[in-house]
Structure 1
Amino acid sequence: MKNRYVIGLNSGTSFDGIDVALVKFKKNDLTPIFLDGIVCEYPRHIKEKIRKLIVGALRAKPSEKIAQLDIILGNLFADAALRLIKKNKLKKEDILLIASHGQTIYHKPRVKSVQISNGKIIAKKTGIKTINNFREGDIKAGGEGAPLMPFLDSVLFRDLPRQVCTLNIGGISNVTVVGKNITPIAFDIGPGNALIDLITKKYFKKDFDKDGKLALKGKIDFKSIEHALKDPYFKKKPPKSTGKEYFNQKFIDEFFSQIKNNQNKIATVTYFSAKVIEKSLRDFVLPKYDVKEIVVSGGGVKNKTLMRHLVRACHGVPLLTKSDKYGMPSKYKEAILFALLGYTCHLRKPNNIPSCTGAKKKVILGKIIKV
């Protein structure tokens, strides 16, 4: 096997665009080596189509709309991969495979998880073997189908003598604990950027709160936060997973509708998103594990106000560092994960972690689409 270059493609629950990562693998080593990455932003009308599908959550059975968007995203994902190949002056023959997670539009733990971005189109348009459908296998094995990040973390930190907690803040926040001589655990914490983005779009007509500047201008309603933290999801023990089907506008209306000032509303929800992380760490992680370090990644690290709240809320919790320290650029970590999942699928190696997803057994995640 001469070429061990792999391209990972992903669009997270914030659906702002396609993250594309080029990685390589050394012989007999599963550790992905990040080489380059790009972000291909979705056109605004595509973002709106995705948003409407997610809000509908399949209840209206918009199968025709899903099929149409699946084709559109298949072409966009293929173009994104080709763009990175061209940027690095590579040929399609240099690429072993493309691993595409696609765009999640629906996730119901242990039942169904739907991602779109037609893999057959990606394979045909690029001329490169494509692997997708990374969640179905875990669900069929009795798992939640999420989170999948623990597999990458277990590879990255398998040789460290200390226990490491990794925190990914995307639309949904999730946490993983790995280390020598322990069984990895992981779970979805709750809203990361999801509620913040919804409020930013609805009341400020912006896609996201850049640097957390909007949240800085408001006052925090601590009573609303105390009430919201009583939601049953936060009490549920891991393994568990969630999505925007749960943490959505309905959740905002239930717990934060009494806050009439929009600046106060975004300030409160931003603090709430940090508080949710702190509560989960103290309830489910720190009492059981001797964590020495928390490694943070995901789009949430760009929100300076959220990160400040997190550092203060987690007073006494081990040092917060970015995943960049370990050669994993925080904004490309999920794309790198899918490159690894695709590579291990190609090698026919099991790549889920039952202790994290609740699956009954180890399975090989991914569906291979040959050219």
Structure 2
Amino acid sequence: MLHNQNNTANIYIGLMSGTSLDGVDGVMVRLPDPVDAAAADADADTDTGMQIIATAYIPFDPDLREQAMRLQQASDNELHHEALLANALASTYAACVKKLQADASGQTVHAIGAHGQTIRHRPELGYTRQTNNPALLAELTGIDVIADFRSRDVAAGGQGAPLVPAFHRAVFGRAGASSVVANIGGISNISVLAADGSTRGFDTGPGNVLMDAWVLQHQGKSYDANGDWAAQGNVIPALLNSLMDEAYLHMPPPKSTGRDLFHPAWLQGKLQGFDAVSPVDVQATLCEFTALTLANDIARHAADAAHVYVCGGGAFNHQLMQRLQALLAAQSCAAVVRSTAVLGVAPEQVEALAFAWLAQRFCLRLPGNLPDVTGAAGGRILGALYPA
């Protein structure tokens, strides 16, 4: 079922560049009115109420990726380097918008929701930083831009993340059914969509970030396609136990994390004393680490879930998906692990769609956060407007 197909005011673009630092995903989508979405057939598993008009992906060039990686750690002249990165990102985002428009036959877009690139996330210190130049993006595209979605939630005492559970509830939630949406990007987070209509969510720990760094270091590849390399190795139990000792993993939600904690130097510290191990066995252990942190939290917070729907790059890692299913079964959790594609939404499009949806929420002056998820003092309108 599609809604409001002739209402151009409901056409939005969402742009997302995540912790994996591989590129920007863009989507042009016709969104239903919130009232229409609530009236959608709750029994139709694939009825999201959205009409995806066009999708695009623009990879980061190596220099841009290197700039973004450099800013993950404290360095000299950071303000200058961040400003240059923000400009480069805006140009890349604009290229993505141009490709969407070229594929969309002249559709009129109401607004762009642009997440920006997270370079620091320290809600415990009262800030989160997603670098971007939304003013330049508005100038380059001639479209209103909504950006800086996380800061208002942090200002209200929240984590500023994850913000996607509200979108997951609106799009994937079904009355009387318990399910989990697991977003496995650089960092993993889960949205627990309980049968009673309540929603919880938090970052579970690393997603692909450590696996990507390790395969780059040892094989010169940006990611482990299908998890094939990890599948060739054997898990190192003592190393897995050391990884699982990280205090963050045992904190109660609300909580969020990022590259500020889980980065190559953190992994190197955990590898002290494991000098003789094979790189492929380390990769297998990192894959198991991501799967186990997810399985533990799903079993702990959503033991009755019938389904775990996976989105993000991790949905394409067959080894990771298989290990997640096996580890859930080992904890007597009967949930079936599948990608969000079975719900009619490609896993690589979900986060970009979420920020299109958040842009709509801003334009309608509706809250975009869930206080039960982020810990904020209440619902808040998220984002800031940069008019065309």
Tell me which interval the TM-score lies in, with the shorter structure as reference length.
over 0.9
> Matched residue of 2:128: which SS?
strand
**Is the counterpart of residue 53 in structure 1 residue 60 in structure 2?**
no
User: In the alignment, what sits opposite 1:79?
Assistant: 95
Cα displacement (A) at 1:76: 1.0
User: In the alignment, what sits opposite 1:115?
Assistant: 130
Please, which moves more after superposition, 209-218 or 144-153? 209-218
8 Å Cα contact 1:77/1:117 also seen in 2: no
User: In the alignment, what sits opposite 1:89?
Assistant: 105
Pair 1:281–1:247, CA change in 2 (3 A): same
Cα displacement (A) at 1:2: 4.0
8 Å Cα contact 1:74/1:117 also seen in 2: yes
Which among 333, 343, 352 is matched to residue 326 of structure 1? 343
Cα displacement (A) at 1:147: 0.3
- Distance in 2, matches of 1:204 and 1:149, equals 33
Please, what TM-score do these two structures have when normalized by structure 2?
A: 0.90
- Which runs of 5 or more residues in structure 1 are unaligned? none
Identity of aligned residues (%): 29
Which among 250, 262, 268 is matched to residue 285 of structure 2? 268
Pair 1:2–1:250, CA change in 2 (3 A): closer
- Which runs of 5 or more residues in structure 2 are unaligned? 1-6, 38-48
8 Å Cα contact 1:237/1:284 also seen in 2: no
- Distance in 2, matches of 1:325 and 1:166, equals 12
Pair 1:181–1:267, CA change in 2 (3 A): closer
- Distance in 2, matches of 1:323 and 1:160, equals 18
- Distance in 1, matches of 2:20 and 2:77, equals 22
- Distance in 2, matches of 1:181 and 1:270, equals 33
8 Å Cα contact 1:170/1:193 also seen in 2: yes
User: In the alignment, what sits opposite 1:35?
Assistant: 53
8 Å Cα contact 2:54/2:103 also seen in 1: no
Paired letter, 1:262: P
- Distance in 2, matches of 1:59 and 1:43, equals 21
- Distance in 2, matches of 1:113 and 1:352, equals 15
Cα displacement (A) at 1:158: 4.0
User: In the alignment, what sits opposite 2:114?
Assistant: 100
> For the aligned residues, what is the CA RMSD?
1.6
Pair 1:305–1:2, CA change in 2 (3 A): closer
Pair 1:60–1:185, CA change in 2 (3 A): farther
- Distance in 2, matches of 1:154 and 1:217, equals 37
**CA offset digits 1:261-316 (Å, max 9, x no partner):** 21111111111111111122223332xxx322111111001111111211111113
- Distance in 1, matches of 2:95 and 2:263, equals 31
Paired letter, 1:362: G
8 Å Cα contact 1:73/1:117 also seen in 2: yes
**Is the counterpart of residue 298 in structure 1 residue 316 in structure 2?**
no
Matched pairs, number = 364
User: In the alignment, what sits opposite 1:279?
Assistant: 296
8 Å Cα contact 1:32/1:336 also seen in 2: no
User: In the alignment, what sits opposite 2:361?
Assistant: 344
**Is the counterpart of residue 7 in structure 1 residue 7 in structure 2?**
no
**Is the counterpart of residue 310 in structure 1 residue 324 in structure 2?**
yes
**Is the counterpart of residue 66 in structure 1 residue 82 in structure 2?**
yes
Please, what TM-score do these two structures have when normalized by structure 1?
A: 0.94
